[in-house]
Amino acid sequence: MEQAGPEYAFGEDSTWVLPLDSLRACAGDVDNPMAELVFSITGNKHVTGMLDSQHDAIVFTAELNWNGVEELYFVVADKNGLKTSLKSRIACGRFPTPPAV
């Protein structure tokens, strides 16, 4: 089952950190404790999200000099292989790049 999620934005050629707690607030499973749920990201082409387990967050970056909007799916799965997803739009804003000499 897919749900519509929040929209996020960050700047071109920068990174953005999404604490996993904000995703956990949207997720739940009556059969399994939160600690057993696994989060992943799909649907991305230009924006990459890497799990940072040390900081309990997902760190997002975009391709160099890319700006635009991409729809990503935050997927949560339980140990039985059941999953659901939350569709979110991620906007990467444009910042002018000065000319090189």
pTM value is 0.77
pLDDT tens-digit map of 22-56? 888 877 788 888 888 888 899 889 999 998 989 88
pLDDT tens-digit map of 58-92? 999 999 989 999 999 989 899 988 998 889 999 99
In order of start, what are the domains of the chain with their CATH numbers? 2-93 (2.60.40.10)
Per-residue H/E/C for the chain: CEEECCCEEEECCCEEEEEHHHHHCCCCCCCCCHHHCEEEEECCCCEEEEEECCCCEEEEEECCCCCEEEEEEEEEECCCCCEEEEEEEEEEECCCCCCCC
